[in-house]
Amino acid sequence: MNIFRIVKKELDKIFKFPRQILTTLVLPGLLIFLIYTFLGVGVDASMKEEADAITIIHVINSPESLDSVYESVGTLKIELKKSTVEELEDLKDLVIAKEIHAILLYDENFDDLIQTDILPNVKILYDSSATNAYLVMERAQIVVAMQRGIIYEELNIDPNIFNIIPEKVEPEEKGSAVMLAMILPMLLMSFIFASALSTGSDAIAGEKERGTLATLLLLPIKRSHIIIGKTISTSTITIISALSSFLGIMASWPFAKSIFAVDGDINFNYGAGEIIGLVVMLLLIALLASSILLIISTLAKNIKEATTLAMPIYIAAIIVPIITMFQSGEVSSKLVYFIPLYNTILGLKAIISLNFDLVNFLLILGSTLVYIALFIFILIKMFKSEKVLYSK
User: What does the binding site for another protein look like in residue numbers (CB under 8 A)?
Assistant: 210-212, 214-215, 217-222, 386-387, 390
- For another protein, the closer of residues 348 and 382 by Cβ is 382
Closest by CA to 144, choosing from 162, 167, 168, 170, is 162
Q: What is the smallest separation between the CB atom of 342 and another protein, expressed in angstroms?
A: 37
Q: Which is nearer to another protein, 211 or 254 (CB)?
A: 211
Point out which residues pair with 125 in neighbouring strands: 103, 167
The least distance separating another protein from the CB of residue 244, rounded to whole angstroms, comes to: 20
DSSP 24: I
Give every CB contact of residue 240 below 8 A, 6+ residues apart in sequence.
none
Q: Could you give the CA distance from residue 271 to residue 354 in angstroms, rounded to a whole number?
A: 9
Closest approach, Cβ 27 to another protein, in A, equals: 25
DSSP H/E element including 298: helix 272-299
Give dist(CA 267, CA 281) in Å, integer: 21
Closest CB to another protein among residues 217, 266: 217
For another protein, which is the closer residue by CB, 60 or 203? 203
Please answer whether residues 290 and 235 qualify as being in contact, where contact means their C-beta atoms are separated by less than 8 angstroms.
yes
DSSP 204: I
> Which of 217/228 has CB closer to another protein?
217
* Alpha-carbon span 125 to 127, nearest angstrom: 7
Of 216 and 331, which has the nearer Cβ to another protein?
A: 216
CB of 19 to another protein, least distance (A): 15
